[in-house]
């Protein structure tokens, strides 16, 4: 999808009749137009991650279907696949097969655990990898069971790593004229995403634990309850903490109290300080505190917004974070817009998420098939 945002012609190859599994991950789904009588509604999940793509359905078990895919490979710059390691090679679509057809092809494999090692044949699922690669161990409240992140963070991170790798491979090809096999996987992407937590263990042998929204090394740096909601406060240094105590809490002596006068002391006396802060914040509504923080200006803070509040945020409105597109079966739908601007301009959403097999005839025609040949392929069950 990110390559499509940048202008690439992205062809999504799907299973005949069923398509991408996420098409049926509903509710919720987009309501169908009155004249859209065939097929199921498109799930909101599918619509979220498939803008700027075309859809073709091909039978991978049919020789004629494989021939179609070989023609696509011959004309493509990049192939992205997420089959279990070795599966496409069994069908004649592995790296070696495709490299022979198109030596300049960038072949990006996304798996659960990579192309080598004892887990190479295991399927990869975001929530499983979150647990297996450490993320779930550090997510959640300290006195509660491990929790998953609210979105598929490992999937998203792996996609971003793959996107960067593809862009680098395209630059490499400009210099060498040769294609590249990219091996990206959820497991290693998630381990890389452990960042400073991983470094704490590797450098100091320090095992991590769960802290909820709090920071293990900075206090106060967490979500606090207010009278009618929640607010995130991050006083990251002594100066910010002094301003917070004096101008917000109206407790000027708190920052000079020996228990809290330095961050090291605040970490050691975390529970006591958090209770003092919470008791004060519970006396006013969230927005009252936010207004006071705005006037102060030098202590990081922010509301805990629900999704409605997020999309109604003044900055979200100013930056046009949503875009409306015309979907052939659902009519006008809203999507999250691409988040990057170039020279002040948002990347356009050129095409809505495709209906299943919407572009099969169009793509086959571009590959050189005649109408009669396309009709025959459909009779054969190849498309």
Q: How many Å apart are CA 356 and CA 38, to the nearest integer?
A: 11
Q: Which long-range contacts (CB under 8 A, 24 or more apart) does 60-68 make?
A: 60/15, 60/91, 60/93, 61/91, 62/380, 62/381, 62/382, 64/377, 64/380, 64/382, 65/382, 65/383, 66/91, 66/92, 66/93, 68/364, 68/367, 68/377, 68/382, 68/383
pLDDT band at 40 (very low <50, low <70, confident <90, very high): confident
Give me the count of residues in the chain.
Answer: 383
With a cut of 90, say whether residue 85 has pLDDT above it: yes
CA distances from 333 to 3, 144, 347 (A): 22, 39, 18
The pLDDT of residue 35:
86
Q: Would you state the structure tokens that stand for residue 97, as one six-digit string?
A: 């097969």
pLDDT at 38 exceeding the cut of 80? no
**Contact predicate 110/155, CB 8 Å:** no
How many beta carbons lie within 10 A of that of residue 103, not counting itself? Answer: 11
Q: How far apart are CA 347 and CA 38, in angstroms?
A: 32
How many other C-beta atoms can be found within 10 angstroms of the C-beta atom of residue 177? Answer: 9
Runs of H (alpha helix) within the chain: 2-5, 44-48, 63-75, 87-90, 95-101, 126-132, 153-176, 186-192, 195-204, 238-243, 263-268, 270-281, 286-296, 307-311, 314-318, 360-366, 371-380
**Mean pLDDT across the chain, nearest whole number?**
95
Nearest Cα to Cα of residue 47 among 363, 362, 357, 356: 356
Residue 54 has pLDDT above 80, yes or no: yes
pLDDT in tens, 101-122: 999 999 999 999 999 999 999 9
Sheet with 221-225: list strands edge to edge.
Answer: 221-225, 230-234, 301-303
Terminal-to-terminal C-alpha distance of the chain: 23
Q: Provide the pLDDT for residue 247.
A: 95
In 10 A of CB 297, how many CB atoms? 8
Q: What is the CA radius of gyration of the chain?
A: 26
Q: Which residues are catalytic?
A: 155
What predicted TM-score, i.e. pTM, was given to this entire model? 0.91
C-alpha 231: how far from its chain's center? Answer: 25
The reported pLDDT for the residue numbered 322 is 97
pLDDT in tens, 199-224: 999 999 999 999 999 998 899 999 99
CB atoms within 10 A of CB 249: 16
State what percent of residues in the chain have pLDDT above 70. Answer: 100
């Amino acid at each position: 999808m990110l390559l499509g945002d940048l202008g690439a012609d992205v062809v999504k190859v799907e299973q005949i009749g069923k398509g991408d599994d996420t098409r049926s991950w509903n509710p919720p789904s987009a309501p169908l137009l009155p004249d859209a009588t065939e097929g199921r509604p498109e799930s909101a999940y599918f619509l979220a991650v498939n803008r700027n793509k075309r859809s073709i359905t091909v039978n991978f078990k049919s020789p004629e279907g494989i021939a179609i895919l070989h023609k696509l490979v011959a004309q493509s710059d990049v192939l992205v696949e997420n089959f279990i390691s070795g599966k496409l090679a069994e069908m004649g679509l592995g790296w070696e097969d495709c490299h022979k057809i198109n030596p300049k092809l960038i072949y990006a494999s996304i798996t659960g655990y990579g192309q080598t090692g004892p887990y190479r044949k295991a399927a990869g699922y975001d929530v499983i990898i979150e647990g297996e690669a450490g993320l779930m161990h550090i997510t959640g409240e300290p006195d509660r069971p491990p929790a998953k992140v609210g979105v598929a963070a490992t999937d998203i991170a792996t996609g971003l790593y793959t996107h960067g790798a593809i862009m680098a491979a395209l630059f490499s090809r400009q210099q060498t004229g040769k294609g590249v096999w990219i091996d990206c996987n959820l497991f290693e992407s998630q381990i890389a995403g452990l960042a400073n937590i991983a470094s704490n263990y590797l450098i100091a042998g320090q095992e991590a634990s769960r802290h909820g929204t709090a920071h293990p090394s900075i206090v106060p740096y967490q979500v606090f309850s207010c009278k009618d909601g929640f607010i995130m406060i991050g006083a990251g240094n002594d100066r910010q903490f002094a301003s917070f105590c004096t101008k917000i809490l109206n407790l000027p002596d708190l920052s000079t109290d020996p228990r809290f006068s330095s961050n090291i002391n605040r970490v050691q006396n975390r529970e006591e300080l958090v209770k003092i802060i919470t008791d004060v914040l519970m006396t006013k509504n969230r927005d009252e505190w936010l207004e006071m923080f705005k006037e102060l200006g030098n202590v990081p803070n922010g509301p805990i917004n629900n999704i409605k509040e997020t999309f109604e945020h003044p900055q979200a409105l100013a930056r046009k974070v949503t875009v409306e597109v015309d979907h052939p079966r659902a009519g006008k739908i809203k999507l999250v817009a691409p988040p990057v601007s170039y020279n002040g301009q948002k990347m356009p959403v050129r095409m809505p998420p495709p209906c299943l097999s919407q572009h099969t005839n169009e793509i086959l025609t571009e590959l050189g098939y005649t109408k009669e040949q396309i009709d025959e392929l459909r009779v054969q069950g190849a498309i």
